[in-house]
Amino acid sequence: MSDTAIAFDALGARVTAFRFSHLDDNAVDIVVGPANSNARHQDWTYFGAVVGRVAGRIAKAYFDLDGVAYKLEANDGRNLLHGGQKGFSSQIWTRDPLGDCSADQIRFTLKSRDLHQGFPGEAEVSAFYSWEADNWLELEITATTSKPTPLNLTQHIYWNLGGPNTETISDHLLQVHAERFLPVHEDLLPTGELRLVERTPFDFRSPRPIGECLDSCDPQIAIAKGIDHCWALNGIGFREVAILSDPHSRRQMSVWTDQSGLQIYTANHLGDGQIGKCDRPYQKHAGIAFETQGFPDALNHPHFPSIIVRPGELYRNRTRFVFTNE
């Protein structure tokens, strides 16, 4: 519909705005982001970007593959985060023309050279966005490689269904279709355990306010200063995995994916003077990211699903955000 607008930036193939109409109200931008494009180019929070070659952290910025050791460029203490300082989120992607159908579709492509940020193989990556006004936004990421390499990409949109005048997502209700989550060490790397959510703050099997979890005294919340954890999702194939709703605006968004994991991040490090849209200073927990992906640090946990892709294989990550008015 005419009130819905979505905006992109070739830097990181990122989504910079998504305006969603609510009943008879004007459309509201529900994507959290910096005040302007200049701020995006200095961004360290991955606002709206595709991140990779490997999302999440890799312990000691190192892995061994087929008997060969690969040393990566650490950018999070001794560890690597979201592909490194010059990962996919900081690259200028190529916007491919799509002919007559481009009104509701856009494709970005990127060629990552062999040993970029330390990863083996030349990777050719595509991020294909499609959308239907006020109903859904979908991203399909595909990639091939010239050598065996880890691939685990994701999208890093921060959502706030209340719009730019809603300071935090603490009152939003969250439901996650998962029985287990991945606890982390002090450096936010997974311990390797798949812990039951039952009797923990991470039990979102039924909808509940996110603030109840954020206010918990649980050591896992203290470590991350909020939520920065992966859930081991129920089911396989393309399915609904989470529902976010704002009781004040009555907007709702469901998350669909074909991935095994869902990393949820509640913008725990915003609030240090960053200025956002409408020139409002951001507070901690101003948005929430749903990072559909394989398990973080899977390279160092053999019992986690493998993220290694070999020549001739196709990497694929499909995610859809579906919007409704309650």
Catalytic residues: 156, 291
CB of 155 closer than 8 Å to CB of 291: yes
Q: Give the DSSP letter string of 244-288.
A: EEETTTTEEEEEEES-SEEEEE--TT--SS-BBGGGPBPPTT--E
Q: Two tokens at 3? A: 């009130």
Question: Which strand (E) or helix (H) includes residue 110?
Answer: strand 105-112
Q: Give the DSSP letter string of 137-176.
A: EEEEEEEEESS-EE-B-EE--EE-TT-TT---STT-EEEE
d(CA 47, CA 33): 6
Question: Which strand (E) or helix (H) includes residue 103?
Answer: none
d(CA 99, CA 219): 52
By residue count, the chain amounts to 326
